[in-house]
Amino acid sequence: MTTSDWKELRGKLASASRILYREGVVEGFGHISARVPGTDTFLIPRRMSPALVTEADLLLMNVRGEILEGDGLPNSESHIHSSVYKRRPDVGSVAHTHAPMATVLSNFGKPLRFLNNHACVFAEGVPLFHGVGHIDTVQIGDEMAAVMGNCGGLFLRAHGTVTAGKTVEEATILALYLEEASRLQYQCLLIGEDFTSISPEEARAIKPKVLNPTTMARGWDYYLSRL
């Protein structure tokens, strides 16, 4: 990784943290990380509010939970990230949010329904991790990652969400799309149970039109402009 690539990755991660705060899916807590390409190491903010993260606040950790660079305490739930990276070599970034509407939906145990095109990025479904409390041990992190499997999103019961993407931009936007999808489902449920949605087959056909580098770049530029 070149010096410029390293700086770009750190800058994107700090921006992503503030985007998640700006869009209302994290507050004083929550975090996003980025894998260093081709390694078992990742960048993650030290224990602090996502709203305040700068490049200087990033730690370099490995999947064994060891700090390799940086100052400060790691997030107690860094196992969310390390466990996904261990299981998923395709993942370049992991986000954990406390998104309000997704948290509401997590307590109903209802499957996510595809109510707009954005929701189709989760065509494989969004599993529910039934454990409550913090993901603060290797064992719980590994159990969580096993439930998530190869999906792009996961509900944590009474807690929030986890999203995994190939890039920082993708993991960030997936987190925001999962909250959007949850909000739409909540609003439909306020009206009643009798509403239509996009079928899984239709969602799989729509997904590549919504989840691709061009659309992710466009979405990222939009959210970045709102900081």
Lowest mean pLDDT, pick from 9-13, 82-86, 189-193: 189-193
Residue 35, H or E segment:
strand 31-35
Contact by Cβ (8 Å): 64, 82: yes
Number of independent structural domains in the chain: 1
pTM value > 0.95: yes
CATH number for the domain including 19? 3.40.225.10
Could you give the percent of the chain with pLDDT greater than 90?
A: 97
Beta strands in 87-217 (DSSP E): 93-97, 128-129, 153-156, 160-165
Domain housing 12 = 3-225
- Average pLDDT value for residue range 208-218: 98
